[in-house]
Amino acid sequence: MTHIHSVISIFNNYIVNYMPREKIFRFKQFCVINDKTAMKVGTDGVLLGAWCDVDMAQHVLDVGTGCGVIALMIAQRNAQAIIDGIDIDDDAVNEARSNFRNSPWSDRMTAITANFNDFLNDKKYDLIVSNPPFFTNGILPPNPQRNNARHTTTLSLSQLIMKSATLLSSHGSIAMITPVEAETIVKRCIVESNLWIKRLTQVILIEGSTAKRLLWQITVDESTPSYDQLIIETTNRNYTSEYIALTRNFYLKM
């Protein structure tokens, strides 16, 4: 058994025997502890991690990495990618750091505590990926961690896009997921940042319903947008073949 597989085996044995089941999310090639992170593993993050274009991305930045699930998915998909995950929350970074360290790709993954608005790095990124805060209105939840994770209290969509534009390589791109209601503001920020939409996917939970999410691939290079849809479930609540194909390398149930 190689050293890497030995470490993974020890880690998996530990979480099987000692970690509460609800605090662990198991994928086919890695496991994620999301105990201290404010936002747990969810469909939005997994969709983004499976959907975004990673083929030419040598340097990747995951903004608001949380427990690190998107970064880990990208590491699995691209064997050359060197990935930095940043988050404003110390607990999230510590958890991501542990998940990175106990994955097969620990030698090319780093977790950093940072406010993205103030983030400075001489490195230019080929891909910046983010499952950003969604909620801009309403009563904030009492947990400050969830405030930062779910509300745009520390990072707005405009700040995310405009800051990302300054960190992209000459052919870099941004991939993110947003509510459909954010489409107008995102498109305005893209224009203001001299970026281009490469691909825009509407995410529909159940066949026949309206889209709830948008998956964005935004690029430095001038591009003619590609538009499509992804339906997760059929009307009889079975997963669609498209969704299975997208996530089968990750979900145990696929």
Candidates 156, 115, 113, 164; CA nearest to 133 is 156
User: pLDDT in tens for each of the 254 residues of the chain?
Assistant: 455 444 444 444 444 444 455 589 999 999 999 888 776 799 999 999 999 999 999 999 999 999 999 999 999 999 999 999 999 999 999 999 999 999 999 999 999 999 999 999 889 999 999 998 764 333 334 444 444 444 345 689 999 999 999 999 999 999 999 999 999 999 999 999 999 999 999 999 999 999 999 999 999 999 999 999 999 999 999 999 999 999 999 999 99
Q: Which pLDDT does position 37 carry in this prediction?
A: 77
Question: ∠ CA 153-67-33 to the nearest 5 degrees?
Answer: 140
* Model pLDDT, residue 125: 98
pLDDT for 39: 67
In angstroms, the CA 49 to CA 196 distance is: 20
Q: What is the pLDDT of residue 20?
A: 52
On whether the pTM is more than 0.75, the answer is yes
Quote the CA–CA distance of 168 and 5 in Å, as a whole number. Answer: 34
- Which pLDDT does position 154 carry in this prediction? 64
Contact 105, 77 (CB under 8 A): no
Task: Give the integer Cα–Cα distance in Å for 23 and 71.
Answer: 19
For residue 204, give every residue at least 6 positions away whose Cβ sits within 8 Å of its Cβ, in sequence order, or none.
210, 211, 212, 229, 230, 231, 232
Residues in contact with 139: Cβ distance below 8 Å, sequence separation at least 6, in sequence order: none
3-class DSSP state of 2: coil
pLDDT at 144: 45
* Concatenated DSSP letters of 151-187: BTTS--HHHHHHHHHHHEEEEEEEEEEEEGGGHHHHH
Listed in sequence order, the residues at least 6 apart from 181 whose beta carbon sits closer than 8 Å to its beta carbon are none
